[in-house]
């Protein structure tokens, strides 16, 4: 069963969450029960495929061992090579899932959510390395975090220290009422976005474009229309899914971070990446770009710090691109965004010196317009229609 894929899924989780809601409204904890229903929902999601289920279990046990093992090691020692090996081991299954199909091995290994569990696991290894996870981690809580069913298939990617705090906080009856209401609100936003807007845009525009326009549009106009329609479809579909995930998490007392914050109103491309698929872009920012730049700055291999930053951007967006799939359009999509960010950064620094581009509502409106179109062109590449 695909999470949030049909109305039956919502009826089942609505039913399963009733005791959670009743406990919450009385200010009582529901942690144990929530862990119990997670197992049921995971069985529903993954149960249809035997290889999928076995892969998921083996993969999770592997990640649990890796995280706990590295943490145990880190209590005593802190060798860089052990750290790097732990990170590489953690991403190895994801790399295999992406590479094996290219070698013709399709159904050997691979299941829904492998990326998102990997992101959480790598994050924990890095935070352990930084000395931020000093307390012993409960195996059950860690498994619950990795496999938290509202977000297991496609995020948003939560952070362990934040998640754990929510897990150990029992909201008062009034606090829970607020959580519940905002959770239900998110779920309805999700219905509007995914099942109405994304559905309509897809079935009445995207499927016909760019070619089947009955001579109503020229081929070029058809391409343009496809670009915008696809961009809005992508947004409403994924923002809708994310709203479901955030909403269900809140009903379970976990304030999963939001993924979208009005991305099409971004003033510039940096602003856009703080508003679009936020938990993913923050993950890449914190665990790829910033670590890379810091490491290069300390090693002093390249003198010019801006060069280091630009290499960092290319690395980030290249990885983000191929993470979507090992196909050319994803690679180009990544490099295109790296180019946009680097160009904007150069412009921003140039303008700091010369102050030729003032900050007022007109320049801001122009910035929003330009960013929107640049971003839509990016999704046009991303859609794979070009190559």
- Which of residues 327 and 345 has its CB atom nearest to another protein in the complex? 345
Q: Write out the binding residues for another protein, residues 214-233 only, by CB under 8 A.
A: none
Active site residue 168: no
**Residue 294 within binding range of another protein, rule CB under 8 A:** yes
Minimum Å gap between C-beta 277 and another protein is: 16
Q: For the window 318-347, what string marks contact with another protein as x by the rule CB under 8 A?
A: ---------------------------x--
Q: Is the dihedral of CA 187, 188, 192, 195 positive or negative?
A: positive
Note whether 72 binds another protein by CB under 8 A: no
- Print the binding letters for residues 344-363 with another protein: x by CB under 8 A, - otherwise: -x--x---x-----------
Computed from CA positions of residues 330, 236, 264, 206, in that sequence, does the dihedral angle turn out positive or negative? positive
DSSP class of residue 101?
G
Give Cα 106 distance to the centre of its chain: 24
Instruction: Supply the minimum distance, in Å, between the C-beta of residue 26 and another protein.
Output: 31
Residue 292: count other Cβ atoms within 10 Å of its Cβ.
17
Structure tokens at 38: 């997670």
How many CB atoms within 10 Å of residue 328? 13
Q: Given 106, 277, 324, 354, which residue is catalytic?
A: 324
Q: Does 293 bind another protein (CB under 8 A)?
A: yes
Segment near another protein (CB under 8 A), from 5-13, 123-131, 322-330, 365-373? 123-131
Site string for another protein, 249-278 (x = CB under 8 A): ---------------------x--------
**Within its chain, how far is the Cα of 322 from the centroid?**
14
Paired tokens of 172: 């008062």
Local structure of residue 257 (DSSP, 8 states): P
For residue 368, the minimal CB distance to another protein (Å) is 15
DSSP 209-231: TTT-STTSS-HHHHHHHHHHHHH
CB of 148 to another protein, least distance (A): 20
Burial status of residue 270 (CB atoms within 10 A of its CB: 0-12, 13-18, 19 or more): middle
Residues that bind another protein (CB under 8 A): 126-127, 130-132, 270, 285-286, 289-291, 293-294, 297-298, 305, 309, 312, 345, 348, 352
Q: Which residues are catalytic?
A: 324
């Amino acid at each position: 069963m695909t999470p949030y894929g049909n109305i039956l899924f919502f009826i089942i989780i609505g039913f399963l969450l009733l005791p959670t809601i009743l406990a919450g409204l009385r200010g009582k904890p529901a942690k144990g029960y929530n862990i119990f229903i997670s197992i049921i929902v995971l069985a529903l999601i993954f149960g249809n495929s035997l290889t999928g289920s076995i892969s998921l279990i083996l993969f999770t046990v592997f990640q649990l061992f890796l995280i706990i093992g590295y943490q145990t090691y880190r209590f005593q020692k802190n060798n860089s090579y052990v750290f790097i090996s732990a990170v590489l081991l953690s991403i190895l299954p994801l790399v295999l899932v992406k590479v094996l199909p290219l070698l013709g091995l399709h159904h050997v290994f691979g299941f829904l959510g492998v990326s998102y569990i990997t992101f959480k696991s790598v994050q924990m290894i890095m935070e352990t390395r930084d000395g931020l996870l000093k307390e012993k981690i409960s195996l059950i809580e860690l498994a619950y975090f990795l496999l938290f069913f509202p977000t297991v298939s496609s995020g948003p990617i939560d952070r362990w220290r934040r998640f754990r705090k929510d897990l150990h906080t029992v909201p008062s009856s009034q606090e829970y009422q607020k959580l519940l209401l905002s959770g239900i609100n998110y779920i309805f936003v999700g219905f509007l976005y995914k099942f109405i807007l994304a559905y309509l845009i897809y079935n009445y525009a995207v499927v016909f474009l760019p070619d089947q326009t009955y001579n109503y549009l020229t081929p070029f106009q058809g391409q343009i229309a496809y670009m915008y329609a696809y961009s809005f479809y992508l947004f409403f579909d994924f923002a809708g899914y994310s709203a479901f995930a955030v909403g269900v998490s809140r009903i379970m007392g976990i304030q999963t971070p939001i993924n979208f914050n009005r991305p099409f109103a971004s003033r510039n491309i940096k602003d856009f990446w703080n508003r679009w698929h936020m938990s993913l872009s923050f993950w890449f920012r914190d665990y790829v770009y910033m670590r890379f730049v810091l490491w290069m700055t300390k090693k002093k291999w390249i003198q010019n710090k801006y060069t280091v930053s630009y290499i960092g951007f290319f690395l980030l967006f290249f990885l983000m691109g191929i993470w979507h799939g090992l196909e050319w359009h994803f690679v180009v999509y990544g490099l295109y965004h790296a180019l946009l960010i680097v160009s904007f950064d150069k412009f921003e620094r140039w303008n700091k010196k010369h102050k030729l581009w003032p900050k007022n509502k007109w320049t801001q409106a122009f910035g929003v317009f330009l960013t929107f179109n640049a971003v839509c062109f990016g999704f046009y590449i991303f859609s794979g229609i070009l190559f």
